[in-house]
Structure 1
Amino acid sequence: MTLSVAGLRVAIVNWRDPWHPAAGGAERYAWEIARRLAAGGGRVRYVTCRTPGRPRRERVDGVEFIRLGGRFTVYPLVLLWMLTRRRAFDAVIDCQNGIPFFTPLVLPRSLPVFCVIHHVHDQQFGLYFPAWLAWIGRILEGPVAGWTYRRHACVVVSLSTRRALRDRLGWRMPAYVVPNGHSNAVDAVAVDTAARDAPVLVCVSRLVPHKRVERVVNLADRLRLRWPGLRVHIVGDGPESSALAEVVASRGLAGVVTLHGFVPEETKVSLVAAADLHLSTSRGEGWGLSVVEAAALGVPTVAHDVEGLREAVRDGRTGWLVRDGEDLADVAERALKELDDPARRREMAAACAHWAAQFDWARTASRVEALIAAAVRAGSASSGDDRAHVVSRYGDDQPEVVEGPVRDLMLRDRAVREIRPATPIERLLGRPDERSH
C-alpha cells in the first residue's frame, strides 16, 4: 500500500517560521516536514506569524508561506484565515507551542487534523507570564485543547511527551510518536580531544528561563578549580543573554566561558565537534534535538534526567543523566574522568554516532506523510486503537512499525499476515527491533 501526499492540500500552522529570530526545534520540525511534503507532490501552505524582514507571502522550496499577525494576534488571524478557506485543504497539521491554534473549531468535522506537540508547557507558563495569564495558558493547553481535538489525533516527538499528555493534561485522543530527525550542515574537522590538558565543554541552547543555562556558568565556576585551562562555549541567543553575560563578568569567568550568541550552522558544528562534552540544563524537553546533533558528531551529553532528555540521552552509552539529588558539575566531572580513558572515549563516540544515525528528517517526514495520506483516505486522523504495532505484509519480508490510520487501513484491506504490539523503542524508532523476536 503506497501512502503519498502527492496532490493533497496540506496546511501547516505554526507559531513561527524557521527564519524567525526566536525559532527553535519546533520550527525546524515543522519546516523539515513541510518542505519534504512539498517535494513529494503535496500542495503545502505554512501559516505563521510575521517575521522581521520576510514578506507576508512567499514560496520557498515549494512551500507557500502566509504570515499573519504578531506574537498573540497570530492565533485569531490564523483561525479567521482558515475559516474563510475551510474547504481548501485535505489535512491540517496544527502545531502547539504552549497552546495550539484550535483549528478544528473552524474546519469541517471530517477534515483530518493532527496536533503536533513537542512538550507539555503547563510548568513553564509561570516562568514567562503573570499568574493570571499563566492560569489561562494552563486551561487552554489542558481541558480546552483536549476537548477541541478529541475527535482528531496528536503527533508527539517522544514517549515522554505522550505520557505527559495523558498524566498531566488528561488528553485521551490518540497520540502517534514521530521523533525529530537531525542533520549537520557541514562535516566537522576531526579534533584530537584526548591530547588536551584541560577539557572543552559546549552548550547549545536558546537562552530562555526554562533552559536554565546559568547552571552551565555555575558548573564552569566549580570545574575551573580542577582544570585551570577549562573552556566552556555557550552557543545560542535569547532574552536571558544579557543577564548571563553579567553573571560571567561578575564571577571573573570571561577567560573561561565564551558566550557566542547566534552563530552560523558551520560554526556551531565546529564548536560542538571540538568539545569533550555537550551540556543540556533544560528542565524538560520534548526530545532534545541539540543532544542528538552532538551525538552525530561523536560528542556525548550530560543532561538532567527529565522528560525528553532521558530518551535522547542513553545513560552510560551516549551520555550521562543527572538524577535527583545529584549535581550537574559532579556528573560532568565524573564523565570527563571516564573520557580520560581513550578506549572509553572511542566507545562513547561510536555509540553516539550509531544512536544519532537512527534519526533523520527524511524518515521523520516519511512517517508524517504516511499518517496524513492514511487519514485522508480513511476520513479521520483518529483511531480506535492507540497502540503501535509491528506488522508483516503479504508478499513482503520486511516488517514495519505502524500506528493509527496507517495500521487501520492495512487491517481493513487485509494486507497484514502477522501483527504484534511494538516495544517502546520500536515505537520511537519507527522500525522493528530484531532483538524483540
Structure 2
Amino acid sequence: MTAQRVLLLNWRDTTNPEGGGSERYVEEVAKGLATLGWSVTVLCAAYPGSPREACRDDVKYVYRGSKITVYLHGLFYTWLHRPDRVIDVQNGLPFFTRLVRRTGVFVLVHHVHEEQWQVVYPGWRGRLGWWLESRLAPRLYAGCTYVTVSSASREELARLGITDIALIHNGTDPAPPRQRPKASNPTVLCVGRVVPHKQLEHAVDAIRAARVVLPDAKLIVVGSGWWEDALRNYVADRGLDEAVEFRGHVSEDEKHAAYDEAWILALPSLKEGWGLVVGEAAGHGVPTVAYRTAGGPTESVNDGVAGVLVNCPSEFTAATVRLLQDAELGLRLSQGAAAGAGTFTWQAAARAFDQLLTATSSRTPRSAHPPAPESVRAAAPDRPSPTGPRRQRSS
C-alpha cells in the first residue's frame, strides 16, 4: 500500500538560528510519523545558509520564503502537492490552508498569543495579529481538529470558541551522560530564543539580587534572537557583564553541557505552551523557576517537587535567590526533577498523532497502537486526562 502523505507547515525548523521548543516538537512528531509509515514533508522558512531541500530522519524538509512569505509558499505547496493530511502549525498565524482544501486539515497550536502580540508588535499590527488569531482563524478552521500541548492551552483555545481539541503533550529525550560537573559557583541557566516575550530581563534582575548575597552567582544564556542586543544593553547598564555569559545558538551537546553546569533553570517567559526546556533540565536534575501565569509550566513544572512556580517578578527573584542559597531545598527539588524526567516521550506523541490522522484516513488502523488523544469539548475543558487520554469522535 502506498504510504499516506502528511505535510507539516511550520514557520521555522530547529536548524534555523531562531528555532526553539515548538520547532523541536514538530520535528519529533514528523520523525515519529515517518517511522510509523507516513510519507512526511515539513515546509518552513528559508534562512541565510539554509538548503532548498534536505532529508533528515526520513523526513523531507522544504525551505521556502521568509518569516512572512513562508505562509504564501505553504499555501501554494499545499494546493500544488495535495497531501493526504495537513498539519497547519499556528504560531500566532496559521497558514490559511483551509482556503485551498476542506478536509484532512489539522491545526497545531502550542499556545494562544494574546499577550504577546502587543509585546512584539505594539499598536495596530499587534491588534491585527490578535484579530487574525482569535477571530478569523477559528472561523476559517471551523470543523477542523485542533491539537495542543497542555491543558492550559486547551482552555485558551476553548475560550476562543474552538470545540474539537486533542491534547498531545511534548516528549523529552533521556539526558545524555554528564559531560561537565555542576558549576562550583551558583549558576542560573536560561535556554531558548532571545526575544522580548521570553522576559530574560527578569532572570538578569534575579542574578543581580543574588549577587548581593552570593557575589560569584552567574547567569548563562543559551540561545539567540533579534532581542539579544537589547538584552546585552540591559546587562551592561546594570554592571553585570561579568555575571552574564551569552553562549548563543549552540549544538545539542553544548546545550546539554550547559544543563550539567546549572543549579537552576530560569524560565521567565510571558507564555509557554509547555516549556520543553523544563523536561530537558529535569533530565539533568535541574529544577525550574517559572511563572504560574505562563500557562504550560503549570503542568510541566511540578510545583514544590521539581521546581517553583511564582506569580510576579519579585517572587521570581526571591525564589531564584532562595534556591541558590538553600542547599537542602535545592537538593530536594533536584531529586524531584530527576525522578519526574521522562514521564512524557516523543514516541507517545507520535503514536497519538498517528491515531489522530488515521481516524479520518483510508488506511487500516493499527490495533497495536495505544489509545488516541481525547476530543475535548469547550463545555468541559477541565476534563482530566492523566495518562494519554482516549480520543472519541462524535458521530
Counterpart of 2:260?
273
Aligned with residue 430 of structure 1, among 376, 383, 388: 388
- Once the two structures are TM-superposed, the CA of residue 60 in structure 1 deviates from its matched residue by 2.5
The answer as to 2:344 corresponding to 1:370 is no
Q: Displacement of 1:48 after TM fit?
A: 1.9
Aligned with 1:101 (options 63, 84, 95): 95
Q: In the TM superposition, what whole-angstrom CA distance separates every residue of 1:224-245 from its partner, at most 9, and x where no partner exists? A: 0101121221111111211222
**Deviation string, structure 1 residues 97-147 (Cα, Å, up to 9, x no partner):** 11111212201x3x3211000011122112222422212211111111101
Indicate yes or no: 2:390 matched with 1:403.
no
Task: State the alpha-carbon separation in 2 of the partners of residues 173 and 219 from structure 1.
Answer: 40
Instruction: Say yes or no: does 1:308 pair with 2:296.
Output: yes
Alignment-derived partner of residue 328 in structure 1: 316
What amino acid does structure 1 have at the position aligned with 2:113?
Answer: H
**Structure 2: stretches of 5+ with no match in the other structure:** 391-395
1:182 and 2:172 correspond: yes
CA distance in 2, matches of 1:70, 1:231: 36
How far is 1:325 from its partner? Answer: 7.6
| Long gaps (5+) in structure 1 | 380-392, 406-420, 433-437
Q: Are the counterparts in 1 of residues 182 and 263 from structure 2 also a CA contact under 8 Å?
A: no
Q: Deviations over 1:265-303 (max 9, x none)?
A: 212211212221111110111000111110111110111
Equivalent pair of 2:202/2:313 in contact (CA under 8 Å): no
Which digits, 9 at most, give the CA deviation of each residue in 1:316-344, with x for residues without a partner? 00100112484311111223344x12xx5
Q: Does 1:286 align with 2:273?
A: yes
| 3-state DSSP of counterpart to 1:180 | coil
Matched, 1:125 2:110: no
Residues in 1 aligned to 2:153 and 2:356: alpha-carbon distance in whole angstroms: 19
Structure 1 contact 313–320 (Cα < 8 Å) conserved: yes
Give the % identical residues. 34
The equivalent residue for 1:383 is none
Residue aligning to 2:163: 173
Q: 2:393: which partner in 1?
A: none
Instruction: Letter of the 1:369 partner, please give it.
Output: D
Report if aligned partners of 1:56, 1:68 keep a CA contact under 8 Å in 2. Answer: yes
How many residue pairs were aligned?
A: 383
Change (3 A) 1:63 1:127: same
Aligned match of 1:145 in 137, 149, 168? 137
In 1: Cα distance, 2:158 partner to 2:37 partner: 35
Output the TM-score relative to the length of structure 2: 0.89
Letter in 2 for 1:430: G
CA distance 1:17–1:192, change in 2 (3 Å): closer
Equivalent residues of 2:206, 2:321 under 8 A apart: no
Contact 1:317–1:352 under 8 Å retained in 2:
yes
In the TM superposition, what whole-angstrom CA distance separates every residue of 1:305-325 from its partner, at most 9, and x where no partner exists? 121112111110010011248
Bigger CA radius of gyration? 1
Question: RMSD of the TM alignment (CA)?
Answer: 2.7
Say which SS state the counterpart of residue 6 (structure 2) adopts: strand
Alignment partners' CA distance in 2, 1:331 and 1:425:
30
Q: Which has the higher contact order (CA 8 A, sep 6+)?
A: 2
CA distances 1:330-359 after superposition (whole Å, capped 9, x unpaired):
111223344x12xx5443233212322111
Distance in 2 (CA, whole Å) between partners of 1:101 and 1:33 is 19
- In structure 1, C-alpha distance between the alignment counterparts of 2:273 and 2:370, rounded to whole Å: 28
SS for the counterpart of 1:123 is helix
Cα drift, residue 8 of structure 1:
1.2
CA distance in 2, matches of 1:93, 1:192: 40
Shift of 1:173: 3.0
Q: Which residue of 2 aligns with 1:263?
A: 250
Cα distance in 2 between the residues matched to 1:247 and 1:33: 37
| Residue 232, structure 1, aligned to residue 224, structure 2 | no
- Secondary structure at the residue paired with 1:424? coil
Instruction: For 1:229 and 1:260, locate their aligned partners in 2 and report how far apart those are by CA, in whole Å.
Output: 18
User: In structure 1, how many angstroms separate the alpha carbons of the residues matched to 2:80 and 2:219?
Assistant: 51
Query: What is the alpha-carbon distance in structure 2 between the residues aligned to residue 30 and residue 329 of structure 1?
Result: 33
Amino acid at match of 1:251: R
Map 1:355-366 → 2, pairs under 5 A: 355-366=340-351
**CA 422–331 in structure 1, closer or farther in 2 if over 3 Å, else same:** closer
Q: Is the 8 A contact 1:210 1:282 kept in 2?
A: yes
In the TM superposition, what are the counterparts of 1:61-72 in structure 2 within 5 Å? Answer: 61-72=57-68
